[in-house]
Chains A and B, each alone.
Chain A
Amino acid sequence: MFLQQFVTGISVGGIYALLATGYSLIYSLLDFSNWAHGEFAMVGAYVAIVFSTMLNVPFVPAALAGIIGGAAISFLCERFAYRRIRKNGSPNMFLMIAAMGLSTVFQQAANLIFSGQYRSYPFKLPISTVHVANAYIGVLDLLSLVITAVILIGLVYMINKTQFGLNVRAIACNAPAAKVLGVKVDKSIASVFLLAGGLAGVAGILYGMKYNVFPTMGNVGLKAFISSVIGGLGSVPGAIVGALLLGVLETLVSGYISSSLRDFFSFALLIVLLLVKPSGLFGVEVQDKA
């Protein structure tokens, strides 16, 4: 029983992690919480719905289209909204307000276009389970787990070992200095939004496979926000650890205490953690220089 819960938790946590890493990457570059990040996942999920159920495209290409959709919407938001606000020299809070506005816009638009109903992918994965050591583990959970693991390992490799990753870390450290040293700041930021949007697209489709697709599913972005706060805002490994922790905690609370108190526990954990460690598990204490 416990093992079963645990694997489900890890697999849910994996979906959170896909969102949380994108969240963290954007935060590390621009110092703002991209409130619309969950909606990128929602858009990705709906694009896949349109392709698979309305245009009758096979599921795998439809899912790819969904991922591209997530990446595209993320890119467009940065290109046409966030970039302009950054160039205005507005305080970071304004970026967040804009993100909140965009999140409302996407959610409402989805509601108007697709109505509030739950939709599912015409996707016949065996709903069977695998029997491992007294536990029945869903194939879907396992599949989602494998996909997430592969993507996250690739992401961490990319951040730490490639030129692109180095550029991103340089901008996160000190954007003006990176610019002077020849890093194309705007281009790198745009790439990060593309990447983060693509990850969100994957998360959206996996989430949709598990819980169906609906206009307010973007609220899962909140879980990503919590995960990256637990891990320490702006830290990619932190976001992954935070997401897995949150996923496991949620499933265990639902399983053993009460599913209606699930969110209560996650938030309580969060507040207590922040009181003990004000910058999350992997966060760095920043001191403002006078």
Chain B
Amino acid sequence: MIELFNSANDAVCGFLGINSYLQGVIVMVCINVIAVLGMSVLTGFTRLFSFGNAGFMSIGAYTTAILAVQFKVNFLLAIIIGALFAGLVAYLLGSITLRLNGDYFLITCLGFGECVRVLFNYTKNLTGGSAGYPGIPPYSSMLFSVICAVIAFFVAWRFIHSKYGRNLTSIRENAMAAEAVGVNAYRTKRMSFTFSAIYAGWAGALYGGYLMYIVPSSFNLAKSCELITTTVIGGLGSLTGSVLGAIIVTVLPEVFRALANYRMLLYGIAVVMIIMFKPSGLYGYKEFSIKRIIAFFRNLGKKKAPQPVAASEQGEEAEKK
């Protein structure tokens, strides 16, 4: 099965002339896109914060790896189980911690992420401890990762543009009003948290398949912070923005090799600047769409913009940046 995907991948890459370095970059972009989409649903749409998503990534990665290596489970099934298991853990954790107020919830997430890492380090027999878990089959080819990222985006898009997504945004906008119109805030938050963990687990599973080797320290607090940073750079409340953010954050250091050391410094500065000076951009909450771009240029030609479109133009500009 893996061979099938990988030879298809070779055929596609050969046809398009994509070398193995570029393939690697694309795989990392896809992995980050999936993880950031999860974070985006949680932070951008529900305004919940999780410093534990790296923990969920590691749960997905280890579950998939152990199933695939030790129990010889088909990798597709292993990935699905890995992602769902991360979701299950989030569901259980959320059940007990989502009743806590804002920052108290935050610290339990953070604590959870750290606990998971310490545990994976400690359970040497199962996970190899800090020496890492080797021998994961190389299932994360470029073709497979791209297919995953496309599916992930499609599902997230439909999820957000249904009553479920509307419930999430209502919590973000005003939790008390949301409850007053019948939205169960607790269950809605838990759904968002679970969704985000499934995506994190999925991304973690692909990450393992790409490196063929995982260590607990790849999934530390800094990784969780990076996911949040990327989400903010892409724009809170926008799925297309998150995809864009993930691409920028992954590709930029590859393009400007000299800047690699300054990578996190620059991202940190970017986050602070965005929050300070571009809250309208963050408030834009607009999705990228061809239709709106056409409307934008048409209105430019007419030099007369009706009001509602004028509002969306602003969002559009924010989106492009």
Question: Are A and B close enough to touch in the complex, i.e. CB under 8 Å?
Answer: yes
The interface size of chain B toward A, counting residues with CB under 8 Å, comes to 42
Report the nearest B residue to A232, measured CB to CB.
Answer: B104
Q: Which one of B47, B107, B176, B229 contacts A290 once the chains associate, using CB atoms below 8 Å?
A: B176
Contact across chains for B101 and A279 when beta carbons are under 8 A apart: yes
Contact across chains for B265 and A274 when beta carbons are under 8 A apart: no
In the complex, A245 Cα to B269 Cα: how many Å? 36
- Which residues in B have their C-beta under 8 angstroms from that of A263? 114-115, 118
In the complex, A279 Cα to B122 Cα: how many Å? 31
Report the nearest B residue to A290, measured CB to CB.
Answer: B176
In the complex, A206 Cα to B262 Cα: how many Å? 30
Contact across chains for A278 and B271 when beta carbons are under 8 A apart: no
Chain A contact residues (Cβ within 8 angstroms of B): what range?
A: 35 or more
Mostly, the A contact residues are: helix
Contact across chains for A33 and B103 when beta carbons are under 8 A apart: yes
Contact across chains for A271 and B108 when beta carbons are under 8 A apart: yes
Contact across chains for B271 and A101 when beta carbons are under 8 A apart: yes
Given A267-B115, A279-B101, A288-B176 in contact, is the A101-B49 Cβ separation under 8 Å?
Answer: no
- Which residues in B have their C-beta under 8 angstroms from that of A260? 118, 121-122
Contact across chains for A98 and B272 when beta carbons are under 8 A apart: yes
- Which residues in B have their C-beta under 8 angstroms from that of A278? 99-101, 104
Q: Which one of B96, B104, B267, B279 contacts A229 once the chains associate, using CB atoms below 8 Å?
A: B104
Mostly, the B contact residues are: helix
Contact across chains for A93 and B49 when beta carbons are under 8 A apart: yes
Contact across chains for A104 and B176 when beta carbons are under 8 A apart: no
Contact across chains for B268 and A104 when beta carbons are under 8 A apart: yes
Q: Which one of A32, A233, A261 contacts B118 once the chains associate, using CB atoms below 8 Å?
A: A261
Contact across chains for B232 and A271 when beta carbons are under 8 A apart: no
Residues of A249-290 at the interface with B, using a CB-CB cut-off of 8 Å, are 260-261, 263-264, 266-268, 270-271, 274-275, 278-280, 286, 288, 290
Report the nearest B residue to A271, measured CB to CB.
Answer: B108
Contact across chains for B108 and A105 when beta carbons are under 8 A apart: no
In the complex, whether B5 has a CB less than 8 A from a CB of chain A is no
Known A226-B111, A275-B97; further 18 A-B contacts with Cβ < 8 A: A32-B103, A85-B276, A94-B275, A94-B279, A96-B103, A97-B228, A101-B268, A104-B265, A104-B267, A104-B271, A108-B262, A222-B110, A261-B118, A263-B118, A264-B115, A267-B114, A278-B100, A290-B176
Residues of B at the A interface (CB closer than 8 Å) are: 47, 49, 96-97, 99-104, 106-108, 110-112, 114-115, 118-119, 121-122, 176, 221, 225, 228-229, 232, 261-262, 264-265, 267-272, 275-276, 279, 282
9 cross-chain CB contacts under 8 A? A81-B276, A100-B229, A101-B232, A104-B229, A104-B268, A263-B115, A270-B107, A278-B100, A279-B101
5 tightest Cβ-Cβ pairs between the two chains A and B: A267-B111, A104-B268, A101-B271, A108-B265, A105-B268
